[in-house]
Amino acid sequence: MNQRPLPTGPYAVGTTTYTVYTDREELRAPGTRRSVPVRVYYPTSKEAVAGLNKARYMSRNVAEGLKKAIHVPIPYDKREAAGDNLSECYPDAPWMEGGRFPLVVFNHGLSSYRESNSFLCLELVSQGYLVLAVGHPYDACCAELDDGTCIFFDGELSKKQYDPLWGGMLKALQLTHSKGTDRELAQQFDALQQRYCKLILSRVAEWEQDTLDAVKYAQQAFGDRIDGSAGIGATGHSLGGAVAYMLCLDHPDFVCGVNLDGALFGDTAGKVLTRPFLQVSCQGNVKAETRAFVDHTRPVYGAVFKNMQHLGFTDMKHMMNLKLMTGKLDADVMHENVCKLHLEMFDTYLKKAKDRPAFVSSEAVTITEHAPDVT
C-alpha cells in the first residue's frame, strides 16, 4: 500500500456530517423517504486542530459494503490495529472565524462510498475551498445516516446496469473499439444508454436532486461560511462525474465542473453546456466520454491519463496494489496531477484568480482544449 498523501495547503481540515431527510419517495424502498447523507470538509487553522483527534477514515460497515458490492477486500481490523484508519481531518474542529470559502460538491461513483475521494477533497479544502461529499443510499456500497442507519448497496442495480445485461455489455464493449468523431461517438453512446441503461439514467436524475438538497441544507445551515459570489463547482468520479456534468448542464448555480472518468450518462437531448468543464479520462474509457466535447459554448478541456484504470482515480489507488483495477501509474503522480487539474479549474472559475486555467501536459497526462462546438 502507498503512503497516503497529505494536504499541502495553508489550512487544516475540519469535518462534520449531516443527513437531509427529504420529502421524496425512496424509489428503491417504496413508502419511505429518500435520505441524503453528506460529509462536510471545511478549512480551519492548523493551530485550532492542535491536540485534536483525527477522524476515522472508514467504518467497518463501509469496509464490508465494499467487499460485497465490488469484491474489494479491506483488512479493516489490521488497519485499525496499525493506526492506519485515520484521515487528515478533524471532527467538529472550529470553523475559521469569519472565513468564507467557495463551495465544491463531490459525488461518488455507483457502488462506491461518500469518502471515496477524500484525498482530493482534503487537498481542495487545504487550499481554501469548502467541500460537500454527497452519499447516495442504495447506490453506494454503504450509506451511513446520522441517525445510525446503514443502507447497503442494492445488488439489483448491478444486474440491471444494462438491461438486457449481456446485450448492453456487448454494445458497450463495441463502443470502446468504435471509430468516429467526438459527435459520432457521443451519438453511439446515447443510443446505448437509451436502449440498455434506463435504470442508470434514472439514478443520474435522482443524484442531481440529492445534490441540490444537500446544497440547499448547507446554504441554510452555514451559508455564512460559503462564498457563493461566483457560483458552485461540481466534481465526481464515475457516475458521480456524469452527475457533475448534468449539474453544470441543468442548473445555473453550478458554474464549472470536473468529471473523473465517468461515462456521460444523463438526459442531454437538446441541451447545450454553457459552463466551462474538464473531462478526465483513462485511455480505455475515452470513447464513452466524448459527450463533454460537443454542444458547448465555453471551452471544455480533456485530460487523458496514461497507464490508468477507472478505479485508480479514487483513494483506492493509495490503498490497494491491484494494478488491474487502478492502473500502473504511480499513485502520488496521479494524485498530484488530479489535484492540480481541479485547482486550475476552481481557482479560475470560482476564485477568479486567473482568466483561464493554465493546464500543462506531462508524461502522465495529455491535456487538450476543445473550442466551443454547437450544431
Q: Which residues of the chain have pLDDT under 70?
A: 1-2, 375
Q: Where are the beta strands (DSSP E) in 26-113?
A: 33-44, 90-91, 103-107
Residue with cell 502520488: 332
C-alpha cell at position 21: 431527510
Q: How far apart are CA 112 and CA 275, in angstroms?
A: 27
C-alpha cell at position 354: 486567473
Instruction: Identify whether the C-beta of residue 197 lies closer than 8 Å to the C-beta of residue 160.
Output: no
SS3 252: coil
Would you call 253 exposed, middle or buried from its count of C-beta atoms within 10 A (0-12, 13-18, 19+)? middle
Question: Pairing state of beta strands 130-134 and 33-44?
Answer: antiparallel
Q: How many CB atoms lie within 10 A of CB 288?
A: 23
SS3 244: helix
Instruction: Identify whether the C-beta of residue 139 lies closer than 8 Å to the C-beta of residue 149.
Output: no
Q: How far apart are CA 136 and CA 142, in angstroms?
A: 9
* pLDDT attached to residue 74: 86
The enclosing H or E element of 245 equals helix 239-250
The enclosing H or E element of 335 equals helix 331-349
Cα dihedral across residues 337, 180, 292, 275: positive or negative: positive
Q: How far apart are CA 242 and CA 182, in angstroms?
A: 17
Using a CB cutoff of 8 Å and minimum separation of 24, what contacts does 76-83 make? none
Beta bridge pairs of residue 13: 43
Q: How many CB atoms lie within 10 A of CB 235?
A: 30
SS3 172: helix
Q: How far apart are CA 188 and CA 288, in angstroms?
A: 9
Q: What is the 3-class SS of 127-163, one letter each residue?
A: CCCEEEEECCCCCCCEEECCCCCEEECCCHHHHCCCC
Residue with cell 481531518: 89
Q: How many residues does the chain have?
A: 375
Residue with cell 437531509: 20
What is the architecture of the domain spanning 12-370? 3-Layer(aba) Sandwich (3.40)
Q: How far apart are CA 313 and CA 283, in angstroms?
A: 13
SS3 106: strand
Residue with cell 442507519: 149
DSSP state of 355: S
Residues 6+ away with beta carbon under 8 Å from 83 = none
C-alpha cell at position 202: 434514472
C-alpha cell at position 296: 458547448
Residues 6+ away with beta carbon under 8 Å from 19 = 35, 36, 37, 38, 145, 146, 147
